[in-house]
Amino acid sequence: MDNLEYVKNYLSSSLGVKKKLIDDNDVIAKIKDVAELIEEMYRSGNKLLLAGNGGSAADAQHIAAEFVSRFFYDRPGLPAIALTTDTSMLTAIGNDYGFDRIFSRQIQAQGSRGDIFIGISTSGNSSNIIAAIREAKRLGIITVALCGKGGVLSSIADFSIDVPSLSTPHIQECHIVIGHIICGLVEERIFPEEKPNV
């Protein structure tokens, strides 16, 4: 396969997964429902917490930044914390309690009833995300899992948005699209007066 063919095949494969998302009414409804929950959470004065490992850690940070800074247009920031960014905290918890607790410990310390936690795992089986979901539920925090096909998280989170694929890169690509959609919906619903007339 030459390089041009590789590029076209990859793009085609990625689009194929997104087409499956578009055609899955259950997934579309869950994305809408989660956006509405996050809107309601912000109106109640709570915050969004996010976590993931590797590429999913980057996705957690990316989505948090869209809420805090801006997405489509200028408006007040919305509180969102990626639990993946503080290396001193991550290494302290990892050293003292183990890697499996790096997120659940932060949720226990910083989470409050009425917050929402989004755990991102392409496999749906990341042990530290599972522990974080369980701790969040114990504290009365609504839990959302962004997963691929299958895995434990789909069955334990309050809401699970499952990308219909087993390809880690394509699942990650869809996760960031889903995060963007949620952020765009929340931004538009909470700050309609800030939206520029274009």
Span 156-175, pLDDT tens digits = 999 999 999 999 999 999 99
What total number of domains does the chain contain? 1
In this prediction, residues 16-30 reach a mean pLDDT of 96
Helix (H, G, I), strand (E, B) or coil at 111: coil
16 falls within a domain: no
7 falls within a domain: no
What pLDDT score was predicted for residue 197?
76
Please state, for a pLDDT cut of 90, what percent of the chain lies above it. Answer: 95
pTM over 0.75: yes
Q: Please report, for the domain that includes residue 57, its CATH number.
A: 3.40.50.10490
5 falls within a domain: no
What pLDDT score was predicted for residue 28?
96
Q: How many whole angstroms separate alpha carbon 148 and alpha carbon 173?
A: 11
Q: How many whole angstroms separate alpha carbon 136 and alpha carbon 142?
A: 7
171 falls within a domain: yes
63 DSSP β-pair partners: none
138 falls within a domain: yes
100 falls within a domain: yes
84 falls within a domain: yes
Question: Could you tell me if 122 and 136 are in contact, meaning their C-beta atoms sit under 8 angstroms apart?
Answer: no
17 falls within a domain: no
Residue 50 sits in which domain range?
40-192
Query: At how many degrees (to 10) do helices 25-43 and 168-190 cross?
Result: 50
Span 43-88, pLDDT tens digits = 999 999 999 999 999 999 999 999 999 999 999 999 999 999 999 9
